[in-house]
Amino acid sequence: MTTTTECIFCTMARDPMHVAPVYRDDRVFAVKDINPKAPVHMLIIPNMHIASLAYVGPGQVPIMGHMFVVAEEIARREGVALSGYRLVLNQGEDSGQEILHPHMHLLGGKQLGAMG
Ligand code: AMP
Ligand code: ZN
């Protein structure tokens, strides 16, 4: 999936009311993961389609950094900022990435255990 017309996150970015984002600004939006792996499982998604992290250059660095700021803001809103949370960004086949539009998972609300 490499074109914006086929990308579900691009569709969501264009039609934010349809997906009820938990957060939105001019650069990113966030939604609840449809298949949550933890009591809190949000996706922080840039409005802009970037086909791969291989295409992240200086022009995209501010957006990527902004995703971390938004993650902490959402963690505060969801009440997990103090208890702790995990941020995951899958890239490529071995990571199990399903949607080829970079996005950050925010997981929290329980003991997440070791990475593995
Ligand atoms: P990844 O494997 O990193 O590409 O993660 C894709 C994530 O998107 C998975 O955790 C899915 O559960 C989630 N997902 C897929 N479709 C939707 C949707 N329509 N709304 C919210 N989350 C979704
Ligand atoms: Zn996209």
How would you write the pLDDT of the chain (116 residues) with one tens digit per residue? 444 457 999 999 998 777 888 999 999 999 999 999 999 999 999 999 998 999 999 999 999 999 999 999 999 999 999 999 999 999 999 999 999 999 999 999 999 999 87
What are the backbone angles phi and psi of residue 27, rounded to the nearest 5°?
-115, -30
User: What is the distance between the alpha carbons of residues 66 and 77, in angstroms, rounded to a whole number?
Assistant: 17
Å from CA of 36 to ligand 1 middle: 9
| CB-CB contact of 112 with 38 (8 Å) | yes
- What's the whole-model pTM score? 0.94
Return d(Cα 15, Cα 54) in angstroms, integer: 27
Residue type present at position 111: Q
Q: Whose CA is nearest to atom 15 of ligand 1?
A: 34
Written as one string, the DSSP assignment of 36-91 is -SSSEEEEEEESS--S-GGG--TTTHHHHHHHHHHHHHHHHHHT-TTT-EEEE---
**Residue 3: predicted pLDDT:** 45
pLDDT at 79: 98
Q: Which domains does the chain have, with CATH numbers?
A: 4-108 (3.30.428.10)
* Residue among 1, 104, 32 nearest 10 (CA): 1
Output the pLDDT for position 51.
85
Task: Tell me if residue 3 falls in helix, strand or coil.
Answer: coil
Q: Is the CB of 106 under 6 A from ligand 1?
A: no
> Would you state the pLDDT for residue 90?
97
Q: Which ligand has the minimum distance to the alpha carbon of residue 48?
A: 2
Amino acid 37: pLDDT: 97
